[in-house]
Amino acid sequence: MSFEALFLVFISALFHVGWNFWVKNSKNKQIYIWWMFTSAFLVSSPISIFHFSGWEAMPTKSTLACLSAGFMFSFYQLCTAKAYQKGDLSVVYPLSNLTPLFVPIWAVCFLHEGLSFLGIIGILLTTLGACLIHFSPYSEEKTNKKNKKAALWALSASFFASMGAVLDKAGVDLIPQSLLIHYITLMIMFMLFFLGIWAWIRFPKNIILGEIKKYPIQILIGGLMLSGSFVFFRYGIKICPISYAVAVRRGGILIGVWLGILFFKESHGFSRTMASILIIIGLILLKLA
């Protein structure tokens, strides 16, 4: 995995942590996510419209892959929102980001990607470290029934995200780098449509409009972070295997843990320190793979 790909995917992880933070702090998370995608679409669409000629060059197969991936990612977003409504951030975020457990299977089966020994070990260590950070046997926090339900929603989110990631990679591989911004805009538009159908059927108009009135700045910031996450990740998977990319993206969990230690004086203990080291080793192995 090249340094350029590692850098792009890791930056996307930072943005990914950011927008998840804002979702957790919102009141109605499913509606907030839809508004966040609206904000992201308003950010990305002017750029792609400026390069209008690129739309004519978009291959049909890539568009269909983008549509399918957007459908899967929409379910990921809905499951994530449901999980955040029921459980803690420290429970939901790691479990909703266990796509490295699923993606290598889909990538080998459908994309015919090969995994080196170092790559496999790196994926396993990164995933194990991500789990241990928040699910240490030495933790004093007991998982209640509410968090158990949240865990099921979060695991469902990981499953849908893994399917979406493979379809996403297939769509990105079919286009040149010059069309990536069009692809990203298309993805956001599809997800905005799917999530919009759910939101406007599920919730009354006053609740939907109430969310944007209550969190206008947070939605704008969340949309910018979502756009950054989309852009950096797609440029990253363009030049590296999807299996390695989703594992590197789990490094965002490491960032969240140490930001908590440094700025919020959170106590994580020996086990979480060891889990952080596991993630670092996993990322190094992925870099060498």
Spatial distance between the Cα atoms of 215 and 135, rounded to a whole number of angstroms: 32
Helix/strand/coil percentages in the chain, nearest 5: 85, 0, 15
End-to-end CA distance of the chain: 6
Identify the residue with better confidence: 134 or 188: 188
CB 46 within 8 A of CB 223: no
Position 62 pLDDT exceeds 70: yes
Instruction: Indicate the range of 109-123, 150-164, 172-186, 248-262 predicted with least confidence.
Output: 248-262
Position 143 pLDDT exceeds 80: no
- Average confidence (pLDDT) over 126-142: 63
Number of domain units in the chain? 1
For 228-284, give the DSSP string: HHHHHHHHHHTSS-HHHHHHHHTHHHHHHHHHHHHHS----HHHHHHHHHHHHHHHH
Percent of the chain with pLDDT over 70: 84
Q: What is the pLDDT of residues 179-191, one digit of tens each?
A: 888 898 899 999 9
Q: Which residue has the tokens 């060498």?
A: 288
Please, what is the Cα angle at 32 between 30 and 37, to 5 degrees? 100
Instruction: Indicate the range of 85-99, 106-120, 261-275 predicted with least confidence.
Output: 261-275
Quote the pLDDT of residue 171: 92
Angle of the 242-249 helix axis to the 251-263 helix axis, nearest 10? 10
Quote the pLDDT of residue 135: 61
Q: Output DSSP code: residue 203.
A: S
Domain range holding 111? 3-288
Quote the pLDDT of residue 270: 67
> Closest by alpha carbon to 233, among 193, 197, 271, 184?
184
Spatial distance between the Cα atoms of 152 and 29, rounded to a whole number of angstroms: 17
Quote the pLDDT of residue 256: 66
- Which amino acid, one-letter code, is at 269? G
Instruction: Indicate the range of 23-37, 153-167, 216-230, 270-284 predicted with least confidence.
Output: 270-284
